[in-house]
Structures are given as C-alpha cells and as structure tokens.
Structure 1
Amino acid sequence: MDPQAELRIIRAAYAKQIMAAANVRDTRVAAAFAAIPREDFVGPGPWMMLRWWTRDYVPTPDADPVYLYTNDLVALLPDRRLNNGQPSLHAHLMHQAAPADGEHVVHVGTGTGYYTALLAHLVGPTGRVTGIEYDPELAARARANLTAYMNVEIIAGDGTLVAFEPADVIYVNAGCTRPAARWLDGLADGGRLILPLTSDGGFKGGTPEQVARSGAVFRIRREEAGYRASWISAVAIIPCDGGRDEPSEKALAEAFAGGGWQKVARLYRDADIPDERCWLRGDGWCLAYD
C-alpha cells in the first residue's frame, strides 16, 4: 500500500480514538484530526514522547509517523518541557469553542502550529486564523510549517498584548491567572474565549522541574455588553508569558482551594459585584455565580 494512503487510514482511526478519549461527538472536529498530518509539525523523527508512568520522555523506536497517532504528548523542546499538547484535550476544547466556516480564530500559544492547522481546517478557506506565539523559535517553526495554509497568519509576540481584528474565537493554549483585557475587548458579539486558569498551588503531580500548572478551563462567551462563563475542563498546561502576576496568582489559588468553579456562570468587568457572588475577583473583573 502507498505510505500516504496508509497514513490516511491511520489518521482516520486516530481521530476516532481521540474523539472517544475526549468523550465528544463532533464530526467536524473529527474530520480535522483525520485530515491534518501531525508529523508536519513536530520536527523529524524519532520523536520524544512523554510517558506518564515514567513522567519522562521516551524515544519512538524509529521515525515512522505511525507513532505520532496516539493520545500522547510529543516533545517540541524537551529540555524546556515544551510539548505538542494532548490531542484529546484539544478535541474537547475545540468542540467547546465551535469554530465555524468563515470565522476568525485567534490562537494564543500556537507552538509549532499543529492545532493552529486544525483550527484553520475548521474555519475553512473563507475563515482565517491569527496565531500568536511568544517564543521566537517556536513562532518561526510554526510560520515555516504553515506556509501552505493560506488562511493562517503567525505573529511572534506577547499574546496578551498583540493587537488583532475582532475574533469569533480566542483559543488560549497556556495557563493564565487572569483574562487579558485585549482578549475580552477583542471578542466579537457571540465570540468565545477558551481560557485556561492555572495555579502554582493547584499542581499536585510531577517533578519540581516541570513547568506545567493545573487548574480549570473556562469558556467565556460575549453577549452584547456582557459575558457568559462556564467551566468546561480540568487542565495541566505550561504558564502563559504575560498572563500571570503575583496578586492574581494568589487570588486564583485561594479560589481553587475554596472550590465552586463548576458553578461559575458569568464574567463581569465591574468592581462592584458583591463578594458573595464572586468565585474569583481580579482588578476590575470577576468570575461570578449567576
């Protein structure tokens, strides 16, 4: 059998396994996972795969791309513990974000571009993706990997500060302690922000040198002058450069310690919301119960 035809069969099976692991039924997201070659975005093999039972990287036996089609993390910069994210988590988050044909997605933390390519597939040729990557090396790799994707632009910079046109989806792939004002301002009406909030104090596993932080992912939806909010997933993810500060880190750790994040229903940009309604209060904003 032709190797590319064999890989198409393997990707189709991989997509089904990822959707099952994510407990998601979404034919559009499944089609994106089946269509995009992961090997185009993780460098030449053999590849270093993070194995949870050792909490360390193990090399694949050789450079056969078949090894990439599992629900595992692939190292991008292993010395810095930077990985290509877990496919099932992204399947779940993309399902929640629901990028549609023709929409504009802003991808904060694009890495080397694999999930950016999936988002580009989901919005189709009439849509577009603006990928923002803080690390210049990863941004350069993403730009090279995505040259064939005419609906993608890659920007190297701080994803909390880079200006962009109004977005239907802002898909953040790094752990913050607060939402950036730029993201809340940049959501179009009906736009969805996928926001991982993570705390140093919430990370219970791994070794001291690991950079992952754990917490919760919220979906923020802009509705005219307000924002709906809901918890959608647990998460362990690298910190967001520019999206963390000591006061909000402390407030978030206290909020996680108190529980109740599953009941969050709104984000307010209003300092006057009573404390008893706030799950997490920041400078001029809060995540609150309905």
Structure 2
Amino acid sequence: MTETVDMSEDSERAVEIRNALTDKLRADGMITSEVVERAFRTVPRHLFVPAGTSLEVAYNADDSVATKTDEHGVIISSVSAPFIQARMIEQARLGPGMSVLEIGSGGYNAALLAEVVGPTGRVVSVDIDPEVTERARALLESTGYGDAVTVVLGDAEQGVPEAGPFDAIIVTVGAWDIPPAWLRQLGDSGTLVAPLLMNGISRSIAFRREADHLVSTSAEVCGFVAMQGEGEHAERVFLLPDAHGRAVKLRFDDGAPDDPSLLDGVLATERTEVWSGVTIKSGVSFADLHLWFAGFLPGFCKLAVDEGTDLADERGSWFPFGVVRGDSFAYLAVRRALEGAGVEFGARAYGMHGIQAATAMVEQIQAWDRQARGGPAPTFAFWPSGSDHTHLPPGTAVFPKTHGLATTSWPALG
C-alpha cells in the first residue's frame, strides 16, 4: 500500500524514505561528495511533485515525475529522476560559494543546487514556460528557498546575459546543440553539464574548455524531455502502416532517407533475420552499442510501434533501434543464448532488401564487440563554429550541429 504525499509538512516518514533514497544513491556511486549527500538528505523532494503522488514514487531513484503534459499527453516538464540529478550535480563539481545557471526549471533541482552552493553561492534557474517558472517560484518560496534561487522566464538559447558568468551551467532538458550564449556565460574554468543528443542518443556530458573547444570529463546515460524554443530540434517521423491501419514509426534525428516512399508497403513483405554470434549476459548494460550505432551506422533511427502491430506483440525480443536501407529497414533484436542466462544480438528486417539492412546492423554489432566492447569509455567533444577540428583522432564519430560539431571518440580505435 502506498502513502499519499502530505503537502503541508516534511513528515517523519518522508524523511525516512528520503534518507533511504540518499543511501541508495551513495551506494550506487551517483552521489560521491558530502555536500551533495547533505543536499539530498535535506531538500523535501515530495513537496515539489504533484499533489497525490505517493512517497514511494516521489523518492524512487530511477523515475522522473511528470509535472506538465501537452495536448497530446506528451510530457513537457518533469521532476527528473534522482539518480541523474545527483550525477549531474556531481559532474558539475559544485561546492560552497559557487555560481550556477540551471536551464530548465522545476524547483527541486534548484533547491538541491542552493543547498550545495550555500548562502554565499548563487543559483539562477531559467525556463521558457511561464507556468513552469510560476510553479517553481511558488514551490521554492513555500519550502524556504525563495531567496536562494532566482527564477527567470526566458528562452535559454540566449542565456541570461545579465546574470553571468557562472562557475557551472547545468542543462536539465534534452539539448540537440550548444548555443554560443552558453559558452559566453560559462566562466573560463567552468563546467557545462548538458544532456546532449547525438543522432537520437543522449548522454549527460560534463564539458570543460580546452583551447578553442570543449572536452568531456565525464558522461552518464540519460533521457530528458526535449528543449523548447529556439533550441528545439524536431525529429522526422515516418509512419509505416500495416494491413490493419496500425503503424511502425521510424524516428530520425538526422540522416533521414531522401525518398521515404520507397518504404511504402514494407510491412507486407516477409520478415527476415540475421544473427551476429555476439552474446551478452542478462542484466548487463549495452548502452554503448546504441551510441556506436548512432555514430557509425548510416541510416540509423529509433522505432516506436502502435499496439496491435506484430512488433508490439514481440516486445521483449527487440529494442527500439533500427536502420533504413532504401526500400527496407532492420531493427535490433535478441534471442535466448548462454543457456538462458543471456541473449544473442541480431537484426530482424522487412523489405525486398531486408537481408542487406539486417547485415549492415549485424556488422556494426560485430565491430562494436570486436573493437570497443569492454574497452575504455568513449570521450566527447564539442567544436564551436570556427574552431579547428581538422585533426580529429581515428575512431571519431562526427555529429554536425547548427553551432558546431559534436564528436565521440572511441580510444580503442585510435
């Protein structure tokens, strides 16, 4: 049985669950410093989520809590999952007396930041949505942080010119690019932490300046609601209808096919499959494989499916990553292996040239397994327009952006 949130006070039970959450984040390595641990034990997260949310949901380490949706039910504002909030604050290397700009408001994360930088520090939080900023101000005021955080209504693409520079900038929405205003507002030795999208795959990356560009100091797998305003980047989505009027959706961040009509009727073709011989034990992360696809698999896309499609009925045997080759597409699939203690990676495909599409995906699975799996973690960089990126190391994937280039380098390929 769950307990509903008491919005009037920080109850003894809420303190108990909050401490249990903090213990877990510390044990999992998401919290590594005493100042961040103290912040998580202090700020009442349950008072920043919608009324009626259970304490168990409010303090679940791995789940965000939606605070606003659009007319289609898509989440456009949320209180992020505690694990990624803790990790991003640690990535920013914040401490007492420092200044920080938060891009994307909600209230709770700003309160955590205020605890970390203390009374001699400075926290500014900016958001484009007036409902979000009004809610954040009210919640910060009611929880005692109204004077510790300055909430600004504005498009973060332009930064907050009157408030910089900052020792750290933490972006709490999915960022497709890094606009010049953020770099202007970042102190020379400051840290920018942003959930950067690279061909549809995101990482929370901590960047610091090195000569004319930014280099990563750490990265974490993450997912965030998308940026709004000038920094918004719309996906291209192609619908592949089946015989019953339901659809498979192919979602392209970049590199969408020039002639999507070639895929008309593709779901009516016979499905084919190719297997890689690459296995993995159950419960082991393979998130770097997704990132490898994003950088080295031309035609890479993400998949979503309607209920009632064949793919929906097969959930659990595939993952939402695919590739398009002309009139055919393939998607990442798994089948039982290692005597039931793991799976083998492969690709299933539709289309007249499905075997070629599946083979292209399988070849990249094998390349990742052979050249990068288990090796040093990839590193990231951002090269603003005008910087010199002519001498990138071998094994670097390049993601063109409006304001420069993002790159991912795999040390094992150097």
Same fold (TM over 0.5): yes
3-state SS of 2:254 partner:
helix
CA distance in 2, matches of 1:266, 1:240: 18
Task: Pick from 286, 290, 294 the counterpart of residue 256 of structure 1.
Answer: 294
Mapped partners of 2:57, 2:233: distance in 1: 38
CA contact (8 A) 2:212 2:383 kept: no
Distance 2:218 2:93 in 1: 15
Give deviations 1:52-81, integer Å, cap 9, x for gaps: xxxxxxxx4xxxx45522222222125332
Kindly indicate whether the alpha-carbon contact (under 8 Å) linking 2:214 and 2:383 is maintained by their aligned counterparts in 1.
Answer: yes
The answer to whether 1:27 aligns with 2:15 is no
Hey, what's the Cα distance between the residues in 1 that align with 2:74 and 2:384?
36
* 80, 105, 114: which one aligns with 2:74: 80
Structure 2 unaligned segments of length 5 or more: list them: 1-8, 236-252, 256-290, 298-371
Q: Is the 8 A contact 1:265 1:287 kept in 2?
A: yes
Structure 1 vs Structure 2 CA RMSD: 3.2
**Are residues 115 and 284 of structure 1, via their aligned partners in 2, closer, same or farther at CA, if it must alter by over 3 Å?**
closer
Give the fraction of aligned pairs with identical amino acids, expressed as a percent: 27
Q: 1:95 aligns with which of 58, 65, 90?
A: 90
Going from structure 1 to structure 2, the CA distance change for 1:226 and 1:271 (only over 3 Å counts) comes to closer
Q: Tell me which of 109, 113, 122 is aligned to 2:116.
A: 122
Is 1:43 aligned to 2:50, yes or no?
yes
Distance in 2 of aligned mates of 1:188 and 1:271 = 18
Pick 1 or 2: higher relative contact order, CA cutoff 8 A, min separation 6: 1
Worse-matched range after superposition: 157-166 or 136-145: 157-166
Q: Mark the CA change 1:194 to 1:258 in structure 2 (over 3 Å): closer, same or farther.
A: same
Q: Is contact 2:215-2:380 (8 Å) kept?
A: no
Q: What's the TM-score once normalised by structure 1's chain length?
A: 0.77
Structure 1 equivalent of residue 134 of structure 2: 140
Aligned counterparts of 2:43 and 2:34: Cα–Cα separation in 1: 15
The partner residue of 1:70 within 35, 60, 63 is: 60
Deviation at 1:12, TM superposition (A): 1.6
For 1:169 and 1:146, the matched residues in 2 are separated by 21
Alpha-carbon distance in 2 for matches of 1:37, 1:114: 8
Q: Which runs of 4+ in 1 moved over 6 A?
A: none
1:231 to 1:250, Cα distance in 2 relative to 1, 3 A = farther
Give the superposition deviation at 1:171. Answer: 0.4
CA offsets, 1:147-194, max 9 Å, x none? 232221001111111423101110001111110111111101211111
Query: SS at the partner of 1:146?
Result: helix
3-state SS of paired residue (1:182) = helix
Name the residue aligned to 2:331: none
Which residue does the alignment assign to 2:184?
185
Question: Quick one: distance in 2 between partners of 1:271 and 1:191?
Answer: 19
2:231 maps to 1:243: yes
Name the counterpart of 1:7. 14
* Shift in Å, 1:102: 0.9
Per the TM alignment, residue 228 of structure 1 is displaced from its structure 2 partner at its CA by 2.8
More helix as a share of residues: 1
Q: Is the 8 A contact 1:222 1:228 kept in 2?
A: yes
Residues 257 and 160 of structure 1, relative CA distance in 2, 3 Å threshold: same
Distance 2:402 2:66 in 1: 36
In the TM superposition, residue 104 of structure 1 has moved relative to its aligned partner by 0.9
Say if 2:213 and 2:387, in contact at 8 Å, map to a contact too: no
CA distance in 2 between partners of 1:186 and 1:96 (Å): 18
Which amino acid is 2:168 matched to? Answer: V
Match of 1:159 in 2: 156
Q: For residues 219-257 of structure 1, give each alpha carbon's deviation from its aligned partner in whole angstroms, at most 9, with x where no partner exists.
A: 11135765332451122111111323469x527x99823
Structure 2 CA distance, aligned partners of 1:31 and 1:93?
16
Please show how residues 221-240 of structure 1 align to structure 2 within 5 Å: 221-222=208-209, 226-240=213-227
What TM-score results when the alignment is normalised by the length of structure 2? 0.56
**Does the 8 A contact of 1:142 with 1:154 survive in 2?**
yes
**1:197 to partner: Cα distance:** 1.5
